[in-house]
Structure 1
Amino acid sequence: MRFLSVLRWIGIGLLMALVWQLQAWRYGAQLEHQAASHLQTLNQQNQAALSQQRAEQEKRLALEQQLNANDHQHTQEMNDAQRNQAALRDRLATADVRLSVLFDAADSASGCTVPATTTAGSLVHAAPRARLDPAHAQRIIRITDDGDSALIALRACQVYVQAVAR
């Protein structure tokens, strides 16, 4: 009898061990499934982040190329303006061209005796002009050159800001 009692206790112990092992296997399978699911989610998030990073890099590269093209264009404009201003300065220096200003024929203080309008039977006069001193003309050309350069630089800055703001 004692032997049967011991066998019963051993049987109950084995049964409990078997149930415990089955539960451990089931729990392990659940953990494995959960880990695989978590790994799949992480991989999907990683792929999404990589594709977003690629898209941002492509946008940055396109913006850099656009800015380089704009910079090249504005540099070319600046060089053209400087070349034109230098040619005008050279022409002023060699007296090929002279800068002049119009007189106001209606202004009595100017001392201009040329009539502002023509009458019947009179000669047609061109508008009275006065030549500028070459040194003053050079200063005027330098001022307009600086203004042209400033406008080109301002336009380049505006294009840059618009491109970056997009």
Structure 2
Amino acid sequence: MSAGRSIGLWLLLLTVAALTWQAQAWRYGQRLAVQEGDYARERQQRAEAANARLQDERLQRLALEQRLHSLEQTHSKELTDAQQAQARLRDRLATADLRLSVLIASDAAPSVPAASGAGGVVHDPPRARLDPAHAQRIVAVVADGDEGLIALRACQAYVRALAF
């Protein structure tokens, strides 16, 4: 019986070892499941945070696009208004409705006799009228300068909007 007893003991030891092995495998499986759940929750939180950042950046981009669109409309209106004013001025000069003049330096002006009598007329400083062709060229130069200033203001507003 001692051989039967030793076989039984071996079987008992093998069964205990197998049960121990299974218990450890079950515990290890549980730990892996918990770790996998924790990892999945962490990935989900990171994905939600990234999605929130993306949504925030998208909203910021839309707000910037709206500000830039508004600036572009303002710039276009200023430019159109300036161009219309310049066109009206050129038309008035072309039709002789308006004449440009310049002040003559006091040392270059012929002497004007003092006004006599009780009426007392006030004299403006002496002026010389410009030739219409010269006036047109001056208006064109001023128009280019006005457009340049409007474009400069638009660029500065654009940079300010981007830098906020």
TM-score, L = length of structure 2: 0.93
Tell me if the contact between 2:64 and 2:161 (Cα under 8 Å) persists in the aligned partners. yes
1:142 aligns with 2:140: yes
Checking the alignment, whether the CA contact within 8 Å between 2:93 and 2:136 is kept in structure 1 is yes
Question: Equivalent residues in 2 for 1:44-59 (5 A)?
Answer: 44-59=45-60
Which residue identity does 1:150 align to in structure 2? G
Residue deviations 1:44-75 (CA, integer Å, cap 9, x gap): 01001101100100000010011001101110
Q: 2:110 aligns with which of 112, 130, 137?
A: 112
Could you tell me how far 1:149 is from its partner in structure 2? 0.3
Give yes or no for contact 2:109–2:126 (8 Å, CA) kept in 1.
no
DSSP 3-state at the match of 2:79: helix
- 1:112 and 1:163 map into 2 onto residues whose CA distance is 56
User: Of 149, 156, 159, which aligns to 1:161?
Assistant: 159
Distance in 2 between residues matched to 1:54 and 1:99, nearest whole Å = 59
Q: Which amino acid aligns with 2:101?
A: S
Aligned partner of 1:33 in structure 2 is 34
> For residues 59 and 75 of structure 2, what CA distance do their matches in structure 1 show?
24
List runs of 5+ in structure 1 lacking aligned partners.
Answer: none
Cα distance, 1:124 vs. partner? 3.1
Q: Which moved more, 1:120-129 or 1:153-162?
A: 120-129
1:100 counterpart residue number: 101
1:14 is aligned to 15
For 1:78-93, list aligned pairs within 5 A: 78-93=79-94
Q: How many residues align?
A: 161
Distance 1:123 1:76 in 2: 44
Return the alpha-carbon distance in structure 2 between the equivalents of residues 76 and 35 of structure 1: 61
Q: Does the residue aligned with 2:128 lie in a helix, a strand or coil? A: strand
Question: Normalized against structure 1, the TM-score is what?
Answer: 0.92
Greater relative contact order, per chain length (Cα 8 Å cut-off, separation 6+): 2
Instruction: Tell me the percent identity.
Output: 50
CA contact (8 A) 2:90 2:139 kept: yes
Rounded to whole Å, the distance in 2 between the matches of 1:69 and 1:162 is 13
